[in-house]
Structure 1
């Protein structure tokens, strides 16, 4: 794909922070109809150009879709294999994760 700057309808800039984060300019957010919490996708082109686009929510990972389909079919065919998590395993999980808090909205770091 060759990016022709004559085809560009909107350009905007933002600055990279010390934590390697940036804010998507309001004009771009508005043009893409982005709302907080929605996913965006980056595509790196040869030569270092990046295309940022709204992540299509209908776009499924084929591997995940196939795996979920496999699980669904197996559950339908073999409902006798479905069991509750044993209490001792559940207790071990709670013990291993005690005191660990995860902020799912926090940005990921390189660590």
Structure 2
């Protein structure tokens, strides 16, 4: 990459943003890829593709390893997702509305 790329994005009320297409192309990012941030003392932020899984949450990693092991040891417990499965999920979530742009409660803003 010989030319500097500059672009902007906006934070939602939930502190989420979309990575601009120009940045995604430059970093060859795909859906579900991880991004690594380095914040320098002068406030400059360097955004790169995450290289390894070592920064993964150890609790989530352990849980996923447990699931993988359990599925391998007990494949008889694996069930197909059927139309009735979806119908049951819809029944259980009926009336639940989610607004991804909803502001976080005050006590959640202090990260």
Q: State the TM-score, normalizing by the size of structure 1.
A: 0.44
Higher relative CO (Cα under 8 Å, sequence separation at least 6) belongs to: 2
The structure having more radius of gyration, on CA atoms, is 1
Q: State the TM-score, normalizing by the size of structure 2.
A: 0.44
